[in-house]
């Protein structure tokens, strides 16, 4: 898949001493050389961070040129000072890129309840501004600057020809835990050189988020800082996409978002398995989503997968308490292709073979079928291990 910097963007990631390890970048600066249409989708947590308040007030827009991101400090639950700091962070980034404050957006991630070290932030923005570039190295450093407990940077991209124009879509994301739909403890920035109106940009992003980032969970915990931004600067040329062209763009954007969304639980804290839940035969997408979230967030389901235990009872019973009506006699369950449960009763299967298929592979496929309708959904989650508990017990202290 094509992963490169779209036309008209510059970026850099630097270490500005928010994190202790000098080998870990903790500030990312991204600049569009042209004013860009910009859209955002944000956490639905009523306790939301200062950067979320700032960005949601500035998107959608048709004039954004700068995004600045810090890791190591979330600037969440920091009151009026947090809002001032977020605005100052935007002002500093805009000034460093020769833009106006209203043209800048901010994202922060890290520990909740701590104030931004603004002197370090200012120094980091200045340092990043002189390193701005469009090379692969610049892209990777920018992606690394937004990480917290992630073990690897997360980048995805697609290059598509639409209406005679070669259009690039490239995204970067962070997230490894504190993950639950709407959204999770995650940041994502997606850049494209496609020409889009601000409204189409917002609609496209909202649709892609629903199919991707809102279909994954690590622990069901909705964070305070979750943000997905899409910038479209039109550097590919031509009039804004519309009709079939917009549909082509949507498909490519969906692919980028889904790839990034899968990468987050795949890198889940302490996880040894990426679990893909495929639900079919549901009465509605809403019903499928409720069942998927309930199964995905069940500690007993997650620990069964961690222990390579084909415990069909935990999966079926989790679906049963999701609060969604269905006929239990029509339910079927497969794990890694093995049929464990059909028409409301367990089947005869080789438990050792199923267990081995889970234990010997990082990916686990759980397929739940219902006889209620034709709605389908794919959802991604992780297992639950002692290492997850250790990492999150030690995160702050």
10 Å CB burial of residue 22 (0-12, 13-18, 19+) is exposed
Closest CA to 298 of 276, 274, 317, 278: 317
What is the Cα–Cα distance from 43 to 32, expressed in whole angstroms?
A: 25
93-121 burial, b for 16+ CB within 10 Å, e for fewer? bbbbbebeeebbbbbbbbebebebbeebb
- The active-site residue, picked from 185, 192, 381, 385, is 185
**Residue 362 has what DSSP assignment?**
S
Here the tokens at position 115 are 């104030």
Dihedral (Cα; 144, 150, 153, 157), 10-degree rounding: -120
User: Does residue 185 carry a catalytic annotation?
Assistant: yes
For residues 299 and 384, is the Cβ–Cβ distance under 8 A? yes
**Residue 133 has what DSSP assignment?**
B
Here the tokens at position 52 are 């979320």
What is the Cα–Cα distance from 302 to 283, expressed in whole angstroms?
A: 25
What is the Cα–Cα distance from 35 to 258, expressed in whole angstroms?
A: 27
SS3 148: coil
Catalytic residues, by residue number, are: 185
């Amino acid at each position: 898949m094509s992963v490169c910097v779209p036309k008209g963007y510059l970026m850099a990631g630097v270490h500005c001493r928010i994190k202790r390890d000098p080998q870990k970048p903790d500030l990312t600066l991204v600049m569009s050389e042209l004013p860009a249409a910009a859209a955002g989708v944000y956490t639905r947590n009523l306790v939301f961070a200062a950067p979320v308040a700032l960005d949601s007030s500035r998107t959608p827009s048709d004039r954004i040129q700068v995004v600045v991101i810090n890791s190591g400090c979330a600037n969440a639950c920091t009151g009026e000072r947090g809002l001032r700091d977020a605005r100052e962070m935007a002002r500093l980034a805009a000034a460093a890129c020769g833009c106006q404050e209203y043209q800048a957006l901010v994202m922060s991630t890290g520990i909740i309840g701590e104030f931004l070290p603004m002197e370090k932030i200012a120094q980091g923005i200045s340092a990043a501004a002189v390193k701005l570039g469009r090379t692969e190295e610049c892209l990777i450093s920018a992606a690394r600057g937004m990480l917290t407990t992630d073990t690897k940077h997360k980048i995805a991209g697609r290059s598509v020809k639409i209406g005679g124009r070669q259009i690039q879509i490239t995204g970067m994301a962070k997230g490894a835990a504190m993950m639950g739909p709407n959204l999770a403890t995650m940041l994502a920035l997606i850049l494209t050189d496609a020409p889009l109106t601000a409204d189409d940009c917002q609609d496209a992003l909202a649709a892609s988020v629903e199919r991707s980032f809102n279909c994954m969970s690590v622990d069901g915990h909705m964070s305070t800082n979750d943000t997905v931004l899409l910038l479209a600067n039109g550097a590919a040329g031509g009039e804004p996409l519309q009709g079939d062209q917009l549909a082509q763009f949507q498909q490519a954007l969906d692919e980028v978002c889904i790839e990034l969304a899968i990468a987050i639980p795949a890198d889940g804290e302490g996880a040894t398995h990426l679990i893909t839940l495929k639900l079919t035969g549901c009465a509605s997408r809403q019903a499928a989503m409720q069942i998927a979230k309930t199964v995905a967030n069940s500690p007993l389901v997650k620990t069964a997968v961690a222990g390579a235990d084909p415990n069909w009872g935990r999966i079926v019973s989790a679906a049963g308490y999701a609060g969604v009506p269905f006929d239990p006699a029509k339910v079927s369950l497969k794990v890694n292709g093995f049929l464990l449960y059909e028409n409301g009763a367990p089947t005869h299967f080789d438990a050792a073979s199923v267990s081995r298929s889970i234990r010997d592979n990082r990916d686990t496929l759980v397929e739940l079928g219902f006889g209620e309708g034709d709605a389908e959904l794919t959802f991604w989650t992780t297992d639950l291990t002692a290492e997850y508990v250790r990492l999150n017990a030690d995160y702050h202290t």
